[in-house]
Amino acid sequence: MWRFVGGRLLQAIPVILAVITVTFFLVRIAPGGPFDSEKAVIPEVKAALEAQYRLDLPLGQQYLAYLSDLARGELGPSFKYPGRSVNELIAAGLPATAELGAYALLVAVLLGGLAGVFASLKPNSAQDYIPMSVAMIGICMPTFLLGPLLVLVFGIHLEWLPVSGWGDMPGDKILPSLTLGAAYAAYIARLSRAGMLEVMSQDYIRTARAKGLPEWQVVTRHALRGGLIPVVAFLGPAFAGLLAGSFVVETIFQIPGLGRFYVQAAFNRDYTMILGTTVFLSTLIVLFNLLSDILAAWLNPRLRAQYGEA
């Protein structure tokens, strides 16, 4: 098992390095320098600024300097917010985004998992069709449409819940978490239904029934584990999707999180901020992928043994 974890970690390193490299050079070759937009910049000031951000160095040296900064955990100063570092900006946005992501993931796993398992117990009945139709709506209804619609109905029309903010008013976390989690709840519902149906058709389920176990024990003891492995493996990609989705949700609900900072940085062409956030988020995603992979492998005794003994 440790070999497997180690191997996957070793694989993750080049991936992260590749992300850093590609992002760095992409940002640098972007047409138009960061200070071009401000027309009336005095040449001396511009030179001073460029020196401050090391833009006067050759590209290779800039890259190496950036890597060595990264190694020390420094993401550099922001272009657009003078005097503030990217680290500070990320630290400011991360808590809200992390909380939002965690709630959304919870919504996705609990709601989706329950609905999927529930539907799989009686395939092709109302118990199957109803949750699966809702799931289909969840998949077809993009976050950026669902969010405004929920706001329209529950915020503006019914006035049950606040329409924006994060932690300012009671209940203002409900709509964003639901909006962000809905699509993934739908995916997980479909995945877990398919996984459970597959497992429930296996011979060993028949063995469990022949033992005289009641159906709920057959499901919980024998089927659930195998049936939910695909869901665990999906958590990695889901996490990446949730992060991207947080761009939209934070914009819609005006949540001061990382996603909104990122989109703003993109519009402001705040290159160090884009670079820093991309590197940070990518690393998170790669690590989370790794985690869900390891978890899925660990749940499967055959894989566990394969990596354990070799």
What whole-number distance in Å separates Cα of residue 175 and Cα of residue 181? 10
Q: Does 251 bind other proteins (CB under 8 A)?
A: yes
Q: By CB under 8 A, is residue 42 in contact with other proteins?
A: no
Span from 71-79, 85-93, 111-119, 266-274 in contact with other proteins (CB under 8 A): 266-274
178 near other proteins (CB under 8 A)? no
Is 22 a binder of other proteins (CB under 8 A)?
yes
- Spatial neighbors of 176 by CB under 8 A, at least 6 apart, are 100, 104, 147, 166, 249, 250, 252, 253, 255
Which of 3, 6, 9, 26 forms a contact with other proteins (CB under 8 A)? 26
Nearer CB in complex with other proteins: 83/266: 266
Q: Which residues contact 174 (CB under 8 A, 6 or more apart)?
A: 161
Q: Closest CB to other proteins among 111 and 243?
A: 243
CA angle 80, 86, 87 (to 5 degrees): 155
Asked if 212 is part of the footprint of other proteins (rule: CB under 8 A), the reply reads yes
Q: How far is the CB of 222 from other proteins (least distance, A)?
A: 5
Q: Can you tell me which residue has the tokens 């996490």?
A: 239
Give the CA distances from residue 24 to residues 131, 234, 251, in Å, rounded to whole numbers and listed in that order: 45, 29, 26
- Using rule CB under 8 A, residue 289 touches other proteins: yes
| Residues 215, 131: Cα–Cα separation, whole Å | 21
3-state secondary structure of 77: strand
Task: Return the beta strands (E) in 73-228 as ranges.
Answer: none
**Count of residues that interact with other proteins, criterion CB under 8 A:** 74
Residue 14 has what DSSP assignment?
A: H
Closer residue to other proteins, CB minimum distance, 44 or 309: 309
> Residues 219-238: x/- map of binding to other proteins (CB under 8 A)?
--xx--xx---x--------
Binding positions for other proteins, 120-139, rule CB under 8 A: 136-137, 139
Q: Are 236 and 289 in contact (CB under 8 A)?
A: yes
- Which one among 70, 269, 272, 296 touches other proteins, defined by CB under 8 A? 269
Q: Pick one of 15, 49, 57, 92: the residue that binds other proteins (CB under 8 A).
A: 15
Is residue 158 involved in binding other proteins (CB under 8 A)? no
